[in-house]
Amino acid sequence: MITIDGNSLTIDDVIKVCKGFEKVSLAPSAEKGIYASKLFVEKALKKNKIIYGITTGFGVLANTYIPPEKAEILQENMIRSHATGVGSPFEEEVVRGIILLRANAMAKGYSGVSVELIKALLELLNKKVYPYIPSQGSVGASGDLAPLAHLALVLKGEGECLVDGKRVNSSGVLKKNKLKEIKLKAKEGLALINGTQGMGSLSCLAVYGAKNLMKNAQIAGAMSLEALHGTDKAFDKKIHMIRPHPGQVRCAENMRNLLKGSKIIKSHKNCSKLHDAYTLRCIPQVYGAVMDTIDYVEKIIQIEINSATDNPLIFAKEDEVLSGGNFHGEPLAFAMDFLGIALSEIANILERTIDRLIDPDKSGLVPFLVKDTGLNSGFMIAQYTAAALVSENKVLAHPSSVDSIPTSGGQEDHVSMGTIASRHARDILKNVENVVAIVLLVAAQGIDFLPESPAAGTKKAHDLIRKYIPFMDEDRVLYKDIEIVRELINSGKIVEAVEKVVKLK
């Protein structure tokens, strides 16, 4: 059970809820602050105070007065009017993250909502209700308005849920799961949709996947170095201590450990080759820079998922309501653009590694790593696939955050496009996972042509791949092999096997 209080949620907690369907509860310690902020709103209504989004319209309509007796209608209308998302729906794991993060943000006690509203969100998670939330339509400035409005609709018994891949009216889904429809009070509609939780959920999933990917990428790099009869001299500790970027130092240590005891490398220790191509020699410098980027992004996300991101914010202790811009997605927009760029570089360098492995002039191995070349094409076209993914990444990696289109009559005149940046980063991640899968396939095949045995760490990865995929004697359909290895990457099985003998940092 994960307990939320608005301040202590971790990315690992988010992943447990998104992927592991961990149940969630609201910390009793958070209820006092939540109640105080809600009471503030109720008192403000009775005093007929002018407060944005409570007794005024939204966006450019902020100067339009709404009488207190219409405060609830205002919230209901806003949810309906803002549910304008289009495109394919977010996957269930993304939606679960959105729900959790929105509940956690409101649990901080600055949103002016009821405890019951937050618990209603958590019940969606605990009952595995899957709201239909289209993935497109957010500019990431006043928060993820359109995506979050689709979530809010479900709480009201409107909108739709996804059940077995089909769109179903949410009222019936709520009844089936014995959940009550919520009547939104003053401020509650605005609090539900004014936040960065769409991009936040995508970001948590992306950084989690990126960390797992980088371990697999280093394993693929080590296997490739062995298959290409490379040298481990470039990973010498002394080299990296005089340029001590943390990721570079960490990656070099991982490579030393992955290759420790390799008879393949030992067999050509005194060969005439002075050094390897950059794809092999610069693994710590390139992979390490990506690892540093992931660490930076992770810190930004960790702050964001425990932040109050709606507007206005209720400071009940100070008897004050403040209007600001915590909903603006710029921190995540930059971070996710940066992550997408960094991950694209892993695909770039690994696609060149594939080329080196299948080219006999570079590898010293048989052409395209298959016997009877000509009759067989081997891994020739697998490199084409990697090249296509790399090219696609170059388009996806264009920074979304450098764009801005004014909205709401110019009131919201600068927007972050953070949700688009987050979607693109996840798309890039998926592409890179496929590239890494191809490298692992090709490197395993290359190692099989060598008489010497690999290192203990790389052997574990090689043996696991061979457990599912046989050596390719002649041409066969390869797309299924790529899918299998990608699943081994995503499931963590390759890293788990390797870390039985080598702990990766």
Is 386 in contact with 438 (CB distance < 8 Å)?
yes
Least Cα distance to 34 among 122, 99, 111 occurs for 111
| The two structure tokens encoding residue 428 | 């890039």
Helix (H) or strand (E) segment spanning residue 92: helix 92-106
Q: For the chain, how are helix, strand and coil distributed in percent, rounded to 5?
A: 60, 5, 35
Helix (H) or strand (E) segment spanning residue 137: none
Specify whether 52 is catalytic.
yes
Return d(Cα 46, Cα 504) in angstroms, integer.
Answer: 60
Least Cα distance to 160 among 131, 125, 137, 120 occurs for 131
492: left (phi over 0), alpha (psi -120 to 50) or beta: left
Annotated active-site residue in 35, 52, 65, 384: 52
Query: What's the CA dihedral at 173, 177, 178, 183 to 10 degrees?
Result: -50
Q: What are phi and psi of 92, to 5 degrees?
A: -60, -40
Burial of 64 (0-12, 13-18, 19+ CB in 10 A): exposed
Is 212 in contact with 490 (CB distance < 8 Å)?
yes
Least Cα distance to 288 among 241, 335, 339, 249 occurs for 249
DSSP letter for each residue of 153-217: HHHTT-SEEEETTEEEEHHHHHHHTT-PPP---TTHHHHHHSSSHHHHHHHHHHHHHHHHHHHHH
Residues 6+ apart with CB under 8 A from 417: 139, 140, 329, 333, 400, 401, 403, 404
Is 337 in contact with 400 (CB distance < 8 Å)?
yes
Per-position b or e across 417-443, b if 16+ CB within 10 A of its CB: bbbbbbbbbbbbbebbbbbbbbbbbbb
Return d(Cα 70, Cα 361) in angstroms, integer.
Answer: 77
- What is the set of active-site residues? 52
